Structure 1
Amino acid sequence: MKNSIFSLLSLFTLTFCATAQEVDFREYDLDNGLHVILHQDKSAPVVTTSVMYHVGGKDREDGRTGFAHFFEHLLFEGTENIDKGKWFEIVSSNGGSNNANTTNDRTYYYENFPSNNLKLGLWMESERMLHPIIGQDGVDTQNEVVKEELRMRYDNSPYGQVINAVSKNVFSKHPYKDPNVGYMEDLDAATLQEFQGYFKKYYVPNNAVLVVAGDIEIAQTEKLIEDYFGPIPKGAEIDRDFPEEEPITEEINTEFFDKNIQIPALINAYRTPGFADRDAYVLNMISSYLSDGKSSKLYKKLVEDQKQALQIGAFNVAQEDYGAYLVFGLPLGETALDTLAVEIEEEIANVRNSLISERDYEKLQNQFESSYVNSNSSVSGIAGSLATYYLLYGDTDLINEEIDIYRSISREEIKEVANKYLKPNQRVIIDYLPEAGQ
């Protein structure tokens, strides 16, 4: 149970730090607006080619949710020059691996190859951008794939609806209120023309970044990129105008029912700023202070000392426009959810009302230094970080400079940010309960 709950939540806990050794890169734009980032690393004969599109779950219309996640699957169907169902076969038969993932804010595709297959990786991603076949047969096939994923990861998974429960209660206007994967009735109702129109709008070079990292020659790679991606037409400019949320000023109490659980859970949730905001970095540190490791405040108090919780965790769910800070707890034995709520608030109040100790502060700094050293330990990790910092943060240099933000956060700032976002009148308390009869 522990692993299933917290592996799910960790998917939404995004902390992007740089390596201790500075990451060198070159970036430039093609004439069609595609942003290109190159990173040379000859320590191993491998190369990552990746494309991140600025399109995610929030890019939808009412009644047409889940398109970006759907396209994560659909764009592996095949192209004018790659036969249906052959994408993964081509990659694996050439010694490579590949995958894709979608959040509310972006979609990321990548291939890892031996460096002598750089040309193949670039060709495949250019094919995905220029020549995908979006037909009814592929739509029908992937519709069933997505339905099965929904059943396995959300509908039939214990605590699989935690993030959805938070989102629908923390947000009321912004598209973040709906699941990233969307609703199946929306996908069932969508026409082929709507899918084709969605691709034409969002999967264009001027809404993407191409990253090539690893054992490459810069001049040769630039020439290949121009050959494969230069002819792709530029798309129309994308206008995003998402509604703003009103502040939460009074505590909200609600319930959410999950047919797959027997042990109820408590969720305290707060709306927070987008991940590029400095306060979001401070909230990441508060999360670590409260629940990262067995010596953290909430874990030691509720799990080890008072034995009131099976598990406890604080998470800053990072997103581009808004975040959601949540504390998730499973009660032990006869402990009531109300009791957990009181104990959790007591620890958060301590952060609001007094400075954390110098010892705890030094421990936090050491934790983030360690993350900084280890996070970009692979070429593929560096590629993902470069794409993310450019596309979502608007500053590729953060791959080398973000750790300085954490270093500059003071104990006083931690207290200030806790007071700004984590007050009782700003929270949503969700009793996450078994359905009747479970």
Structure 2
Amino acid sequence: MNYKLLGLCLLLMATATQAQEVDYEEYDLDNGLHVILHQDETAPVVTTSVMYHVGGKDRTEGRTGFAHFFEHLLFEGTKNIDRGEWFKIVSSHGGKNNANTSQDRTYYYEVFPSNELELGLWMESERMMHPIIDQVGIDTQNEVVKEEKRMRYDNSPYGQLLFTVAENLFKKHPYKDPNIGYMKDLDAATLEDVKAYSQKYYVPNNAVLVVAGDIDIPKTKAMIKDYFGPIPKGADVVRNYPKEDPITAQINAKAYDSNIQIPASIIAYRTPGFKERDAYVLDMISAYLSDGKSSKLYKKLVDEQKQALQVGAYNIAQEDYGMYLVFTLPVGETRLDTLNAEIEEEIAKVRDSLISERDYQKLQNKFESRFVNANSSVEGIAGSLATYYMLYGDTELINKEIEIYRSITREEMQEVANKYLKPNQRAVIDYLPGEGEEQ
């Protein structure tokens, strides 16, 4: 064996892992806004981003979809940015921007040349401090959201699939309703409803500002204080969502989608929120079952037995509860219940015995590789910093989360599979071609 070559390889691997260490500084303004700064001078770009701790679950009955609606509405304009000018300002200064909303948070960001940092900070402070919320903007964005729903969900093959899973796994918690909301609720919303929502959630003490890239730290701090410091603090946001009763008997359901010709089988389990250690273990089980063509489910159902066109196990992470689902498309006349039995056979193996040491090492290598490749851009680092602080309550996870995966044992994988992935704790959904109900 060439020990010098082996030593060099190990050194390079250690260096690559070490290079992923993300340095950052974080602090709070007097109004409660949390600030995270990350300096990276490798390219003359900077990302300014704000994450608000508000998502689809933050609503009252009859007023669903507000967080997603606000994702659009807060591009309408501000006291100092005219309606329709937001995107023009960004593009004319060499930048790009976007936003997205989950059930748990809303995220806005701009990427600019680093000499435009002040512009990015000003625009996000305007969004927070001076949004124009009027009936014209509400009516305009209501139509935008309706068109998005038609394109992405109503007229898209398998577009209602996740909604169907959620409404079967959740009966009490707001996760039971789609993030985009029900259109009848947005139609019924008054200007007063919308303004009250803004005042409750889009406040500095319910947000984190991340600035990442080619920045001068002292100058950046001074600008942040100037632009965000004067924004008034809001009332504390209190959440007390109902807890779900355990699922103790298999739920059987059917759903119909007029946009598909091939039926699908969905097996879904309710799992813990992503901060729980068990959620990390479920990530590893998911990768073991279906990540890549050598995974257990793909190799068995697609390659060897040729019963499925596609199969995937997904651990959908959310703050309060997760959703673990296995999605399968059959080949030809293969019955959905046949696929379900084959899938249960593989999950039962994880419950009943330890995975092989070889498979376990492959999993560890896969997660090491994910860690090394993560945060490869300043834009990605900004999103990770915001997420780990806001939703996990631990910014340092950006550097140490891999240690959680490294510490997971084969015995723990078996234990967690037995805890959550049992037949009497699941929903089995036949997702079939046909006419569905209008949402």
User: Residue in 2 aligned with 1:156?
Assistant: 155
User: Residue in 1 aligned with 2:43?
Assistant: 44
Q: Relative to structure 1, is the Cα distance of residues 139 and 119 closer, same or farther in structure 2, using a 3 angstrom cutoff?
A: same
1:77, 1:133 within 8 Å by CA — same for their partners in 2? Answer: yes
User: Residue in 2 aligned with 1:27?
Assistant: 26
User: Residue in 2 aligned with 1:336?
Assistant: 335
User: Residue in 2 aligned with 1:324?
Assistant: 323
2:20, 2:375 within 8 Å by CA — same for their partners in 1? Answer: no
Q: Relative to structure 1, is the Cα distance of residues 108 and 320 closer, same or farther in structure 2, using a 3 angstrom cutoff?
A: same
Question: Which secondary structure state, in structure 2, belongs to the residue aligned with residue 210 of structure 1?
Answer: strand
User: Separation in 2 of the partners of 1:164 and 1:315?
Assistant: 15
The sequence identity of aligned pairs, in percent, is 77
- Matched to 1:47, the amino acid is V
Q: Deviations over 1:200-233 (max 9, x none)?
A: 0000000000000000011000000000000000
Q: Relative to structure 1, is the Cα distance of residues 136 and 172 closer, same or farther in structure 2, using a 3 angstrom cutoff?
A: same
User: Residue in 2 aligned with 1:282?
Assistant: 281
- 2:368 equivalent to 1:369: yes
User: Separation in 2 of the partners of 1:20 and 1:118?
Assistant: 26
1:19, 1:374 within 8 Å by CA — same for their partners in 2? Answer: no
- Matched to 2:223, the amino acid is L
Question: Which secondary structure state, in structure 2, belongs to the residue aligned with residue 36 of structure 1?
Answer: strand
Question: Which secondary structure state, in structure 2, belongs to the residue aligned with residue 241 of structure 1?
Answer: coil
User: Residue in 2 aligned with 1:138?
Assistant: 137
User: Separation in 1 of the partners of 2:214 and 2:222?
Assistant: 16
User: Residue in 2 aligned with 1:61?
Assistant: 60
- 2:235 equivalent to 1:265: no
User: Separation in 1 of the partners of 2:380 and 2:423?
Assistant: 38
User: Separation in 1 of the partners of 2:124 and 2:372?
Assistant: 30
User: Separation in 2 of the partners of 1:150 and 1:29?
Assistant: 37
Q: Given the two structures, how large is their TM-score scaled by the length of structure 1?
A: 0.95
Q: Deviations over 1:13-38 (max 9, x none)?
A: xxxxx985210000000000000000
Q: Deviations over 1:282-339 (max 9, x none)?
A: 1001111001000000000000100000100000010000001000000101100000
- Matched to 1:306, the amino acid is Q
1:19, 1:377 within 8 Å by CA — same for their partners in 2? Answer: no
Q: Relative to structure 1, is the Cα distance of residues 326 and 20 closer, same or farther in structure 2, using a 3 angstrom cutoff?
A: farther
Question: Which secondary structure state, in structure 2, belongs to the residue aligned with residue 51 of structure 1?
Answer: strand
- Matched to 2:162, the amino acid is I
- Matched to 2:426, the amino acid is R
- Matched to 1:160, the amino acid is G
State the superposition RMSD in angstroms.
1.0
2:257, 2:435 within 8 Å by CA — same for their partners in 1? Answer: no
Q: Deviations over 1:230-254 (max 9, x none)?
A: 0000000111000000010111111
- Matched to 1:25, the amino acid is Y
User: Residue in 2 aligned with 1:118?
Assistant: 117
2:204, 2:233 within 8 Å by CA — same for their partners in 1? Answer: yes
Q: Deviations over 1:62-85 (max 9, x none)?
A: 000000000000000000100100
- Matched to 1:367, the amino acid is K
User: Residue in 2 aligned with 1:389?
Assistant: 388
Q: Residue 375 of structure 1: CA displacement?
A: 1.4
- 2:85 equivalent to 1:73: no
- Matched to 1:264, the amino acid is P
Unaligned runs of 5+ in 1: 1-17
Alignment of structure 1 residues 286-365 onto 2, 5 Å: 286-365=285-364
Q: Relative to structure 1, is the Cα distance of residues 102 and 19 closer, same or farther in structure 2, using a 3 angstrom cutoff?
A: farther
Q: Deviations over 1:151-182 (max 9, x none)?
A: 00000000011100100000000000000000
Q: Residue 262 of structure 1: CA displacement?
A: 1.0
Larger radius of gyration: 2
User: Residue in 1 aligned with 2:423?
Assistant: 424
Q: Deviations over 1:44-101 (max 9, x none)?
A: 1000000000000000000000000000000000001001001000000000000000
Question: Which secondary structure state, in structure 1, belongs to the residue aligned with residue 178 of structure 2?
Answer: coil
Q: Residue 413 of structure 1: CA displacement?
A: 0.5
- Matched to 1:281, the amino acid is Y
User: Separation in 2 of the partners of 1:188 and 1:217?
Assistant: 46
User: Residue in 1 aligned with 2:9?
Assistant: none
1:316, 1:325 within 8 Å by CA — same for their partners in 2? Answer: yes
- Matched to 1:308, the amino acid is Q
Q: Relative to structure 1, is the Cα distance of residues 397 and 436 closer, same or farther in structure 2, using a 3 angstrom cutoff?
A: closer
- The runs of at least 4 aligned residues of structure 1 exceeding 3 Å deviation read none
User: Separation in 2 of the partners of 1:370 and 1:436?
Assistant: 43
User: Residue in 2 aligned with 1:195?
Assistant: 194
Q: Relative to structure 1, is the Cα distance of residues 29 and 69 closer, same or farther in structure 2, using a 3 angstrom cutoff?
A: same
Q: Relative to structure 1, is the Cα distance of residues 424 and 20 closer, same or farther in structure 2, using a 3 angstrom cutoff?
A: farther
- Matched to 1:203, the amino acid is Y
Q: Relative to structure 1, is the Cα distance of residues 136 and 436 closer, same or farther in structure 2, using a 3 angstrom cutoff?
A: closer
